Chain A
């Protein structure tokens, strides 16, 4: 495998008026994750596999397969993220305490490869994942403004 593959990532930041301890709980406790993300059997143990389960559709079983890669309580959480034809991506959450007692929450989603097949997942996702409040994709995107960036990097 000498061929260089270009991958892309993006990151988004949120300035939250809640302490890192509380944000960490919401990012790691399955009962809380089920309320804002998806139902999951996540365990805080390095190297363990777990899934997120979205509603399934004829095109996609709704499973996102993950492996826990890094755990630094109240600071950093990293796991692989694959499913429905998307492979080799990694999700990293970074929590930084702010001077006002809140948390700067940063998400990086990395490892998107050019030419990766779109597959059924994307179609399935449109049906299976209900955007909260019935928002259209374009509305959500218009709120993203400057905090999101796309980075390009070369990896061996």
Chain B
């Protein structure tokens, strides 16, 4: 968490709160070692959803560009 705070630009309690929400949602897991807590993104949590949606947004944007070109060529 010490590593997160400078880059997140928010206070330690705020970072803790965000991480707690992410942990409950199953998107991150934590591992304690003494005073340190290590968090890691759970690949089965967040990644696939984001990737499928990102993929298909790009897919449809690209395909409809082709559709628009085709419509220009088509007779009314």
**Interface of A with B (CB < 8 Å)?**
8, 10, 12, 14, 16, 18-19, 22-23, 25-26, 32, 35-37, 86, 105, 107, 109, 112-118, 122, 125, 129, 131-132, 135, 137, 140-141, 143-144, 148, 150
Contacts and interface: CB of A to CB of B under 8 A. Distances in A.
A117 B56 CA distance: 15
B56 A22 contact: no
Interface residues of A, dominant DSSP: mixed
Interface residues of B, number: 29
Interface of B: 44-49, 51-71, 74, 76
B70 A140 contact: no
Shortest 6 CB-CB distances between A and B: which pairs? A36-B66, A36-B67, A118-B48, A140-B58, A18-B71, A36-B70
A55 to B, nearest CB: 14
